[in-house]
Amino acid sequence: MTETQHLRETAVVPEKETLDCSGLLCPLPVYQAALVLNRLTAGDRLRLITTDPGALRDVPAMARQRGDTLHSVVEEEGRQVFILEKGGTS
């Protein structure tokens, strides 16, 4: 079983929204993700897709600063797929 399959099979809470930021460079993926997270309710999940390698540092940093939870990061076919859950304070 691959890591990607394992994450998909164990995901209990579906994502509320998906944001595809493929082709966008820093800071746009983080900025757009923050805009979507601002609209969500605490506990809602966002599936964020990026192609910017810098997102591997930037998205976890954004989640920590906002008080959100980063549940998973999977790299596949030149993309990074993040599952973020909106925290109660952001």
CA dist., res. 33 & res. 75, Å (int): 18
**Residue numbers annotated as active site:** 26
The structure tokens listed for 48 are 């964020």
Helices (H) and strands (E) counted in the chain, each on its own, are 3, 4
Residue 16 CA, chain-centre distance (Å), reads 12
